[in-house]
Structure formats: structure tokens, C-alpha cells
Amino acid sequence: MAAAAHGRIRPLGRGTSFGGIFATLLIHVSLVALIYFAHVKSPPPAEVPRDLIVTKLVSFGKPRDKFWLPRIVEPPRPKAPAPTLNLTDNPNAAPAPKAAPKLEDADLSKELRRALKRAQLLAKADEDPPEGSLTGSREGTSTQGSAGDEYATAIYNAIRRNWITPTGLVTDAELATLVTTLKVSIADDGSLSNPVLRGSSGNQYFDDSSVQAVKSTGHVPPPPANLRAMYRRGVLFKFAGKDLAR
């Protein structure tokens, strides 16, 4: 009789513990909420960057004579009229200097002859071949070579070509310290997705120039078959103002 009483389902009525039912419901609601937030609101996967080395070719040219360091680069010379103004404001100043000495003059001192030769070489500065190495490449862009990933190099060259930072709004001194990181996906046909900012440099014009570089590029060579999945997931572009090769 007692066993039969235990097996029967008792209807609700006297003796039912509403507190216990409430506690059970509370526990189950909490567990459901836990499942919901664990699966739906889970944080985005952390991105672990893996540095790819870009190949840099040494440019073809003549190594620069250390004597010229640092080089003074002259702008193109316009035809200037001969000076007609009196350049001194001191009534007691010495008379204006005579015409400049020439290299052909016989009575030049050794120092003056050396200074005139240097001035002549400076005057021909824009005729010099670009600086580089005699064993460099005509497609080279660096003063030091480094071996690296071929596809990464192709991406680097495509984007760098379109990367322009505004002088005047980003000073040279600031430029050396700025770094912007963008995440971009590369589709199988080489098209670049809209860049997503992952790390700001703190300078909006530098950040904008990096984003614009990716958007202007638009397409890079299609990735090799074995790398498609990786580049579809995304690549991190780190735009650094400083030239690390110098």
C-alpha cells in the first residue's frame, strides 16, 4: 500500500512546496541564461599576428661617397636674375665682394680650389645616378636586401604604392612614431575587403591615409591556392611611418 502510494503521481494540493518549485524554476532559468550568454554573446576570437617577412631588393646604383653625407638635395634651379640689391644695411660695412673666383684662376689657394670643386659637384647633384649597389636590382627600392615571402611582398608593393601621408598635417618627426593596424580579408580573386581599424596611431590623418591606401589599392594578386583560406580569414596590415630599412 505504501509502495503504491509512492508510485502514484500526487496532484497538487495540501502539502505541495511552492517554495521548492520556485527554487527549481530559478535554478533552471539561471542555467538557460548561462547557456544563452555563453553561446550567443561569446567574445570574438583573439587574433594572433604572425609576422610575414617582405622581400626587399637592393636598388641598382652607385654607392654614395661617405664624403657627401648628409646630402643636400637642391630643388630645380630657376633662372634667377643677377642680384641688383645692396645686401648690407650697415653704412660702415666693407665694400661688396668681387666676382666669385673660378676654378680656372691660377692664383687660387688649395682650400678655395677644393671648395670650388665641391660646389661644382653639388651643382651636378641632380645628374648623379640614384644611390644603391652596383649589384642591385633595377626594381630595387631599399639600401639593404632581405629575403622573404613572395606573396606578402606582392601585397606590400601593391599597397605601399598607394599609401600617401599628408605633409603638413603629419610632421616628419611624428611620422617616425606612428603605427596604424588594419584588418583586411583577401578574397580568392585578390579583392580586398573594407579595412577594419584594429589599432589607431592616434593621428586621424595617418589612420585615414592607411585606410585610403587599402581602398585605393582595391585588388592585389590572387593568393596561392594553399594560402587562400588563411587570407580569407584576414591579414593584419601594420602601417608604420618609420622606414625600418634605414
Partner 1 sequence: MNRLPLTAVISASLLVLARPSPARAAEAEVDLPEITITDPNRDLFRLGLPDGAGERDLATSAAETERRDLEIVGLFRLLDPASFPESLLREGLGFSSDYWSQVGAQGVAKLRAAHESGGIVLEGRLYQVGRGDSPVLTRTYHGSELRPLVHAWANDVVGQFTGMPGVFGSRMAFAMTGRNGEIATIGMDGQDLHVVTQMRSQCMLPALSPSGSQIAFNSFLRGGADLWLVPASGGRARRISERPGLNTGAAWLGSNALIATLSYEGNAELYKLSASDGRVMARLTNSPASIDTSPSVSPGGDQIAFVSDRQGTPQIFLMSSAGGAARRLTFQGNYNQTPRFSPRKDTPMIAFTGRDERLVFDIFIYDLRTGKIDRVTQGQGSNYDPAWSPDGRLLVYASSRGGLFLRNLQTQKEFQIYKGGAKSPSWGPPPAESR
Contact positions with partner 1 (CB under 8 A) in 8-37 = 24, 27-28, 31-32, 34-35
User: Taking a C-beta distance cutoff of 8 angstroms, is the pair 156, 213 a contact?
Assistant: no
Give long-range contacts, CB 8 A cutoff, 24+ apart: 117-125.
122/72, 122/74, 125/71, 125/72, 125/73, 125/74
Distance CA 145, CA 25 (A): 69
The piece of 63-71, 102-110, 132-140, 160-168 that touches partner 1 (CB under 8 A) is 160-168
Q: Should residue 229 be labelled a site residue for partner 1 when binding is judged by CB under 8 A?
A: no
Question: Applying CB under 8 A, which part among 47-55, 60-68, 102-110, 132-140 lies near partner 1?
Answer: 47-55
Residue 190 found at the interface with partner 1 (CB under 8 A)? no
Among 1, 167, 225, 226, binds partner 1 (CB under 8 A): 167
Cell 630645380 appears where? 76
Least distance (Å) between residue 49 CB and partner 1: 4
Of positions 59, 136, 159, 192, contacts partner 1 by CB under 8 A: 159
**For the window 48-77, what string marks contact with partner 1 as x by the rule CB under 8 A?**
xxxxx-x-----------------x-xx-x
Q: How far is the CB of 219 from partner 1 (least distance, A)?
A: 16
Cα 42 from Cα 44, distance rounded (Å): 7
| Nearer of residues 131 and 208 to partner 1, judged by Cβ | 208
Classified as helix, coil or strand, 148 is coil
- What letters, b where the CB count within 10 A reaches 16 and e where it falls short, cover 25-41? eeeeeeeeeeeeeeeee
> Cα 97 vs. chain centroid, distance in angstroms?
51
- Least distance in Å: CB of 152 to partner 1? 5
* 91 near partner 1 (CB under 8 A): yes
CB of 69 to partner 1, least distance (A): 15
Neighbours of 51 (CB within 10 A): 10
Which three-class secondary structure state does DSSP give residue 186?
A: strand
Q: Which of 68, 108, 145, 208 binds partner 1 (CB under 8 A)?
A: 208
For cell 542555467, the residue is: 31
Please provide residue 123's backbone torsions phi and psi, each rounded to the nearest 5 degrees.
-65, -25
Of the residues 85, 106, 134, 225, which one makes contact with partner 1 according to CB under 8 A: 85
Which residues does 176 contact at the CB level (< 8 Å), separation at least 6?
241, 242
Check: CB of residue 243 under 8 Å from CB of residue 144. Answer: no
Chain positions 114 to 153 lying near partner 1, rule: CB under 8 A, are 115, 119, 152
Residue 109 lies near partner 1 (rule: CB under 8 A): no
Does the footprint of partner 1 cover residue 236 (CB under 8 A)?
yes
